[in-house]
Structure 1
Amino acid sequence: MNGTFRKAGHVTLWMALAGCAHAGSAELAAVPERIPDSYAKAGTLVAIAPGRSLNLRCEGNGPQTVILEAGSHADTTTWFKLQPLLAASAKVCSYDRAGYGFSDGGPLPRDLAAEVADLHALIQHAKLHTPLLLVGHSRGSNIARLYAQRYPADLNGLVLIDPPAQDVASVAPEWAKQEAQMSEQRFSFIHQCEAGAEKHQLASPPSALAACVAGGNPAASAKVNASIAAYKFKPVFWRTLESELRDNAVIYGQPVSPRETLGALPVTVLTASDTYADAPGDIRGTLEAARDATQAKILATTTHGRRILVDHASHDIQLDQPVAVANAVDALLTQTATQAH
């Protein structure tokens, strides 16, 4: 869900323990309105294994490094507003996960473990300076959390953008049942698109496959939209998408593990005001409560966490309120730099 750009929130409060702060007003920044045409081609292709490369885009030359981990089936274009804001004070990198954008496909299944392993290999082979700050949106927040547990020495902080509700079935069983039914329909659709891609039909699809080719992003030029469409014409995209969505069902079908711990790692959770704006009114409150409970459990895994509510934002806070995200990241960079000295 993409929203219109509004004046974004300014982070003003640090908390040693998990808490909640509202983002207030901040000065308008020079936020890009259009996806640059540079996104029509790969940034730097980093070989992480024989025959496998991931597409990496880095900006800025600051003393600290930030990596941006996208949500489910998103590529680096999801960060086109945020990345240049952060580049003013840090080296900031986004990348396409395996099977998306300009990155090669990876071994199936594309579960969290596979994606964490790829990210670790990318950091090593790109020779990115550690410890670094990891920013994860949606599914990317789950990747970031697992990465922090497996490679704690690599990180000095996490910023998690609207981590989704987990174990919704425990509070909204009928909603969860409907979602499961919709997922099966979605997988049937993906199989049709994959078959069409195998036959090289998606560039000029027959009417039965027209839905596989979505309309272009209105914030992108024809050149950028053509490059986005091109990787979705490939079977590897559809295989990756199905595997990732099936893993989502596993992840979000269970609660945050009581064994999960991040120790004293600083963690900031950004919560969107309108995550469930499209949900029916009689269920929206329940879904928000489930998300809030999940995020509280995430914050309970660290002794240095805080939660910030970002107003006028859908689940895609990095697109609706990029300045709010930039302020949260900058605040954490300032804290970690102070602690390092």
Structure 2
Amino acid sequence: MRTHARQLAELRLIEGTALKGNRLKAGCAVLGMVLAGGVQAGGSADISVLQRIPDSYAQAGTLVTIAPGRKLNLRCEGHGEQTVLLEAGSRADTTTWFRLQPLLAASSKVCSYDRAGYGFSDEGPLPRNLDADVADLHALIQQADLHAPLVMVGHSRGSNIVRLYADRYPADVSGMVLIDPPAQDIAAVAPDWAKQEEEMSAQRFAFISQCEAGAEKHQLASPPPALARCVAGANPLAGAKVNAAIAAYKYKPAFWRTLKSELEDNVVVYRQPVAATETHGSTPMIVLTAADTYADAPADIRKTLEAARDKTQAQILATTTRHQRIVVDHASHDIQLDQPQAVASAVAALMKQTAVPVQQAATGMP
């Protein structure tokens, strides 16, 4: 399992939280590891849980045209009456699902994809905000002819994408599993923390702009010392082919433009509370909460951050009349990597709620 200190550092850079101390120096180093695909997570003793990213991730799955000159990379496997759609968190590509997707594919069709600008997907028009993400997802579902309604699984920022998609296209969504949705409106609970994060944002975006400029000059494959933080070593969970593929797209300016725009949108999204008008009727929802998201934070800060997250998740759960919250032990923010079987069990439980009875499916009767 990833050390929680490293995971918490990732959160403050990627999801919009910050710790006191020498944050920029440590944070930029961690961001470099993240951008190189350096995820680490504890595996289950169950041999069905993959321990390494398969070499198949070194190539695109199916490239689906969603607009003239634009394709998104889609990976589907398995078969079943219901289809599960996996929506990754910030800066993540389909490799984030390498442990979970095979577990789900054993009993259903499951698809993951690279958002625009990540993995094998083409860059999309800026800004890369939630509206753009939802529009792309809708086009992908239509063009790939994915059978709706779908069970949607969203991790972190992906939970915001899934919720907005369900709001705009409710007929497409039969249920949602949200993996550790981050705190929103953290200033209402931790104003000092929020203020520090605002101050750090300018430094974070300056760093990303430096990397983008280096990518424009084709310098990142062999970076000068000033750009060394933009890259990192190989992912120990992947072989040479997958690491080469990860590096190739992260050396491109498109990745850095996308990353910067997405993180700028995170600032906007997480500054606001869950909208009081958000509602999903009776659509089933399960929220998975990581027990160790803030494990290495000082006790007082951890308590505050958990309170902010819990408040947000309670607001999200209140948007539907059919909801459940499950705390997952021994898991960092990346529950799908640390405890993939817990996520698979939640998806299975939700699918039982959303399954159409055989007689109803055959006759079309309610």
Same fold, TM-score > 0.5, yes or no: yes
SS at match of 2:84: strand
1:337 aligns with 2:333: no
Aligned equivalent of 1:20: none
Measured in 1, the distance between the counterparts of 2:133 and 2:159 equals 12
Checking the alignment, whether the CA contact within 8 Å between 1:68 and 1:92 is kept in structure 2 is yes
More helix by share: 2
* Higher RCO (CA < 8 A, seq sep 6+): 1
**Residue among 272, 294, 298 paired with 1:254:** 272
In structure 1, the partner of 2:17 is none
Summarize deviations over 1:151-200 as a string: whole Å, max 9, x none. Answer: 00001000000000001111111111222222221101100000000001
Structure 1 unaligned segments of length 5 or more: list them: 8-27
The answer to whether the 8 A contact 1:255-1:294 is kept is yes
What is the identity percentage for the equivalent residue pairs of Structure 1 and Structure 2?
74
Q: State the distance in 2 between where 1:137 and 1:233 align.
A: 25
**1:45 corresponds to which letter in structure 2?**
L
Q: Which runs of 4+ in 1 moved over 6 A?
A: none
Q: Which amino acid aligns with 1:154?
A: D
Match of 2:80 among 33, 39, 62: 62
- The equivalent of 1:117 in structure 2 is 135
**SS across alignment from 1:262:** coil
Q: In 2, distance between residues paired with 1:280 and 1:228? A: 34
Q: Deviations over 1:69-127 (max 9, x none)?
A: 00000000000000000001110000000000000000100000000000000000000
Aligned residues: CA RMSD: 1.2
CA contact (8 A) 2:189 2:307 kept: no
Give, in whole Å, the separation in 1 of the partners of 2:313 and 2:299.
Answer: 22
Rounded to whole Å, the distance in 2 between the matches of 1:324 and 1:105 is: 33
Pair 1:64–1:207, CA change in 2 (3 A): same
Q: Residues 78-97 of structure 1: matches in 2 within 5 Å?
A: 78-97=96-115
Name the SS for the 2:296 alignment partner. coil
Name the counterpart of 1:15.
Answer: none
Matching residue's letter, 2:42:
T
Match of 2:63, SS state, is strand
Q: In the alignment, residue 110 of structure 1 is paired with which amino acid?
A: R
How far apart are 1:279 and its partner, in Å?
2.2
> In the alignment, what sits opposite 1:203?
221
Q: TM-score, normalised by structure 2?
A: 0.86
Counting matched residue pairs gives 321
Letter of the structure 2 residue corresponding to residue 58 of structure 1: C
Of 34, 46, 50, the residue aligned with 1:32 is: 50
2 CA distance for matches of 1:47 and 1:112? 20
Q: Secondary structure at the match of 2:327?
A: strand
| Equivalent residue, structure 2, for 1:45 | 63
What CA distance in whole angstroms lies between the structure 2 residues aligned with 1:279 and 1:108? 35
Gaps of 5+ in 2: 1-6, 8-39, 361-366
Matches within 5 A, 1:154-303: 154-303=172-321
Corresponding position: 1:131 with 2:169 = no
Q: Are 1:148 and 2:186 an aligned pair?
A: no
- The answer to whether the 8 Å contact 2:82/2:108 transfers is yes
